[in-house]
Amino acid sequence: MKISYNWLKEYLDVDLTPEALAEKITDAGLEVEEIIHTVQEVSNIVVGKVRTCTRHPDADKLSICTVYDGEQEQQVICGAPNVAAGQTIPFARVGARLPNGMKIKKAKIRGTQSFGMICSREELALEEHSDGIWELSDKWPAGTDMNEVLKEKSDVVFDLFITANRADCFSHIGIAREIAAFTAREVRMPHFELKESNDTDIHNMVKVSIEYSQGCPRYAARLIRNVTIQPSPDWLVQRLEAVGLRSINNVVDVTNFVLYELGQPLHAFDYETLSGGEIRVRASQKDEKFITLDDNERLLPENTVMICDAEKAVAIGGIMGGQNSEVTDHTTSVLLESAYFDPTHVITSSRKLGLMTDASQRFEKGTDYNMVPFALDRAAALIAELSGGEVAQGVIDVYPTPITDKQVPLPLPKVNKILGATLSDEEIIDLLSRVHLNYANGLVSVPSYRHDINEPVDLIEEVARLKNYDNLPTSVFEPLSLEQPERIRETSFTRLRTLLTQCGLQEIFTNSMMAEKHLISTGPAEHVRILNPISDDLACMRTSILSGLLLSMAYNINRNQRDLRFFEIGRVFFKGSEEIPEQPTRIGLALTGNRYPESWSHAGDRVDFYDLKGVLESFFNGLHLDNVQFVLYDDNTLYKKGYAAQILWNNRIIGHGGLIDSKVAQRFGIHVEIFGAELDYDILENIINRELKYTPIPKFPYIEKDVAFVIDKNHPVASVIDMIRTYGGRLLKEVTVFDVYEGDKIPEGKRSVAFRLRFQSLERTLKDSEVEQIFRKIIKRAQKEHDIPLRDQ
């Protein structure tokens, strides 16, 4: 929330510096995140007069201008489309330094000398983007220091963080009330004179009815006729720009001005577009659609508050108006709305629509239902003044069941008991009265704008805040040790994270909620939908840890970060037999990009399936898990066919991995190869052996034997390794693949796979004869029982 210092001074006599005022705002319990000075002091920049302006002979988009700077005429090359002779402009002389650090030098542009620069608002740091130069008022004589001109636009803006429960502080009047409570000053409500025309009575032209009072307890309207839509005056534009709003036209700007002044959202309709001059407030119908001001057709959730005329919907109550009734340059009559919409209805509809506006943010936090008529009159008077319009006589204020102001009990002795203070009853009552919380006969009357005051403890908190926490006594307690032994699960996670990091992966944390289109199916279980999602992008709970990894990879790839190795440990969610979903823990890995950083010695080889397999094998070795197998399988929609493997330990599935199918990757906006894997942590946790026994390095030598088998291309190499281990016995310590060959002398559809077998004993030196006997047994069994011939046969 941005608050303008100059604007604030219209409602409060403030003689504090901006920095001192920021301290007072902080004392009020509101966090000042930043103090922004809207104007920076400049040097050697003056007011100039454009005497002549002609097109550059060698550039269609450049102009050669003669600028008088109060002392002499200077030739300047300008590329702005709106520069013209006779203009009064900011002129940066040679040697000037702009707020962005740029120094103005003499230059030659397309063969023509240029001595300075004609400046835009952007170049003077007054706005983020300018379409042309800044044309000043002719009242400024040439040579005037631009700092004198900038004084008119000088302001200080406080960027505040306001908690959701303090809806009353989302306006300049709300902040003024808080400052007044801490500075013993009085707030001035805006003064205006509302003149009504005797020629027209609003009751003869407008009819308002509320059919859905649960969503809209109060609706008021005024009619302003004979308006002229035109640009807003400078003072109004400056007020809006100070808080980050763009000026649109005099009518719309007034509604935004009053929103930031009083905290009451308003909406202006083009009266001529309202069928029958009627306003009906009703609930939306099933499957009803509506085109909002931002040119989007939206499917409305049921029971959304809709503002309608006699024939059609014209606005979503408290959120956004419609295209069919917006104020345009041709508007001549304006129906002005001021209403109180129920916060629960607004927040529900806003979240389901994925549509948040300045108005909806205030309505969902709770606006002041008693401010409705005052804000309406304030805006109507301003619109009439700025547009030359006439306010029709009378006001329509439909309020079927007036809301009763709250009375909260406050036992005065309880205040000191909770705060540990010794405040007198009179001091407590005086402190509360500073924020218009008036105490009488054990009850405190709560203003209609203070939705956060509901319990006695809320009032006690106000007393502490107004007294200032630093002025309350503190109690000394014996320090308690809160150290707790690390849980087994956290210890396990730490170990897994360490191993995966050592494998060259980087840990990330992603959202458990995501769009339905990003759900990855890894089994038959049904996914969990969120009943009241913030937006469609956060509508479901993830079913695979890989979803978040792919989203993160897409984000990085789109920003030219392409060599990525991520992992994440977290929960996934499936519908269970009961209301609570199943929440197993998964470990996810994802790799993409080059195997090594590009250099003269590496051509930038891309990672492939074997890089993923290598990472997983290193990970399992770190967990001391033997007998882990990677078995190809095609019964999935996540991985590319022929590049998918189930990961088994002792024939038990502990995960899966492979090359992410291109159709899946494209759903995430990814068009490069991604290799991913997902492991079941809950299974791993049960099979990891934590009681390891270490043995010394064997002192007896080992014997290695090589053998090459010819196997089908589709035959899993892991099963051959299992066969070798089975027949190798206890002396066989290691089996590795060191060569794979396809080509001459190898039948089509086959491949030669060479294995190196290492035999070793911990007790003695092996004899060649006994190793040869085991080796021949393996070859014989492979040929006869498994039909796996040697390569040379």
Query: What whole-number distance in Å separates Cα of residue 160 and Cα of residue 32?
Result: 5
d(Cα 309, Cα 314) in Å, to the nearest integer?
Answer: 7
Half-sphere exposure of 259 (CA within 13 A, CB side): 25
Of the candidates 217, 215, 249, 244, the residue with the CA atom closest to the CA atom of residue 326: 249
- What pLDDT does residue 599 have? 74
Query: What span, in angstroms and rounded, lies between the C-alpha atoms of 474 and 315?
Result: 53
CA 99 to chain centre: 30
DSSP string, 28-81: TT-EEEEEEES----EEEEEEEEEEEEEETTEEEEEEEEEE-SS-EEEEEE--T
How far, in Å, CA of 252 to CA of 582, rounded?
A: 51
* pLDDT bracket for residue 46 (50, 70, 90): very high
pLDDT at residue 145 above 70?
Answer: yes
What value, to the nearest 5°, has the Cα angle with vertex 365 and ends 364 and 371? 95
| pLDDT score recorded for residue 424 | 93
Question: What pLDDT score was predicted for residue 603?
Answer: 67
Whether residue 306 contacts residue 371, with contact meaning beta carbons closer than 8 Å, is answered with no
For residue range 54-99, what is the model confidence (pLDDT) as tens digits? Answer: 999 888 889 999 999 999 999 999 999 999 999 999 999 999 989 8
Which residues have CB under 8 Å from 590's CB, separation 6+? 546, 549, 550, 553, 564, 565, 566, 567, 674, 675, 676, 677
pLDDT at position 640, please? 92
Q: Output phi, psi for 537, to 5 deg.
A: -75, -10
Q: Is the per-residue pLDDT at 536 higher than 90?
A: no
Rounded-to-integer distance, Cα 181 and Cα 187, Å: 9
User: What crossing angle do the helices spanning 172-183 and 250-262 adopt, rounded to 10°?
Assistant: 30
| Four-CA torsion 408, 409, 413, 416, nearest 10 degrees | -20
Residue 482, pLDDT > 80, answer no
Q: Is the pLDDT of residue 564 over 80?
A: yes
DSSP 769: H
In this predicted structure, which of 170-184, 333-347, 471-485 has the lowest mean pLDDT?
A: 471-485
Looking at residue 478, its pLDDT comes to 64
Confidence of residue 449 (pLDDT cuts 50, 70, 90): very high
Distance set, CA 642 to CA 172, 570, 637, 678 (Å): 65, 28, 12, 18
pLDDT in the model for residue 337: 97
pLDDT of residue 477: 59
**Alpha carbon distance 660, 637 (integer Å):** 9
Q: How far apart are CA 517 and CA 536, in angstroms?
A: 10
Q: Which residue has the tokens 């503190």?
A: 474
pTM: 0.59
Average pLDDT over residues 454-473: 89
What DSSP state is assigned to residue 337? E
Q: What is the 3-state secondary structure (H, E, C) of 504-531?
A: CCEECCCCCEECHHHCCCCCCCCCCECC
The residue-averaged pLDDT of 430-435 equals: 93
Contact status, residue 510 vs residue 552, Cβ threshold 8 Å: yes
Which whole number is the average pLDDT over 503-532?
Answer: 88
Roughly how many angstroms between the first and final C-alpha of the chain, as a whole number? 82
Q: Using 50, 70 and 90 to split pLDDT, how confident is the model at 689?
A: confident
Mean pLDDT lowest for which of 278-292, 308-322, 738-752?
738-752
Mean pLDDT of the chain: 91
Residue 476's pLDDT band (boundaries 50, 70, 90)?
A: low
Interatomic CA distance for residues 683 and 19, integer angstroms: 59
Q: Which secondary structure element, helix H or strand E, spans residue 55, and what is its range?
A: strand 43-56
Kind and range of the H or E run holding 114 = strand 112-114
Burial annotation 395-407 (CB, 10 A radius, 16+ → b, else e): bbbbbeeeeeeee
pLDDT tens digits, residue range 587-640?
999 999 998 877 777 667 899 999 999 999 999 999 988 778 888 888 788 999
pLDDT band, residue 522 (cuts 50/70/90):
low
Going by their DSSP bridges, the two strands 207-210 and 320-321 should be labelled as: unpaired
Q: What are the helix and strand counts (H, E) for the chain?
A: 19, 38
474 pLDDT higher than 80: no
Contacts of 654 (CB under 8 A, 6+ apart): 628, 647, 648, 679, 680, 683, 684, 687
3-state secondary structure (DSSP) of residue 232? coil
Rg for the chain (alpha carbons), in Å?
38
Residue of 10, 436, 443 lying closest to 181 (CA atoms): 436
Say what the pLDDT of residue 746 is: 87
pLDDT exceeds 70 at position 385: yes
pLDDT > 70: percent of the chain = 98
Confidence label for 26 from pLDDT (cuts 50, 70 and 90):
confident
pLDDT reading at 33 higher than 70? yes
Mean pLDDT over residues 121-128, rounded?
86
Backbone angles phi, psi at 709, to 5 degrees: -110, 150
Q: Pick the most confident of 387-401, 524-538, 577-591.
A: 387-401
The DSSP call for residue 119 is: P
pLDDT category at 36 given cuts 50, 70, 90 is confident
Residue labelled with tokens 């992008």? 537
pLDDT in the model for residue 239: 92
Question: What is the spatial distance between Cα 4 and Cα 153, in angstroms, rounded to a whole number?
Answer: 12
